[in-house]
Amino acid sequence: MMQNNDGVMLASRDILNYINELKELKEERKLIEQREKAIKFEISKFMGENANLMNEEGLIIATYKTQTQYRFDSAALKESRPKLYALYSKPIEVRTFLIKE
């Protein structure tokens, strides 16, 4: 493995193959997720306002119910109480892996 002083490495043939395979997998996942979304849409459209879907034996096979979720609005806190926001904010470092297209 070659590494220069800029922290840049030259990819080996195996690593290049992994990168290409990863790109293909990401595209396959995208297509699968699009298909999943389309299928969920068709089922939920069929269900309409009904919360439960059952099969011929009377077993519930899917539900489509409204849920209430609560999420913390950090942007609102930052605007309305900036000192409090700063008191509880802390920087974190993350290392993100990206494949360049």
- Alpha-carbon distance of 66 to 52, in angstroms, equals 12
For residues 23-51, b (16+ Cβ closer than 10 Å) or e, as one string? eeeeeeeeeeeeeeeeeeeeeeeeeeeee
In a domain, 55, yes or no: yes
In a domain, 53, yes or no: yes
Q: In which domain, by residue range, is 17 found? A: 13-63
Average pLDDT score over residue span 64-75: 96
The model carries a pTM of 0.71
Determine contact, residues 9/3, Cβ cutoff 8 Å.
yes
Closest of 37, 20, 43, 42 to residue 100, by C-alpha: 20
In a domain, 83, yes or no: no
In a domain, 41, yes or no: yes
Token code pair at residue 76: 């609102």
In a domain, 44, yes or no: yes
In a domain, 51, yes or no: yes
Model confidence band, residue 7 (pLDDT cutoffs 50, 70, 90): confident
In a domain, 59, yes or no: yes
In a domain, 95, yes or no: no
State yes or no: pLDDT of 13 exceeds 50. Answer: yes
Determine contact, residues 52/43, Cβ cutoff 8 Å.
no
Number of domains in the chain: 1
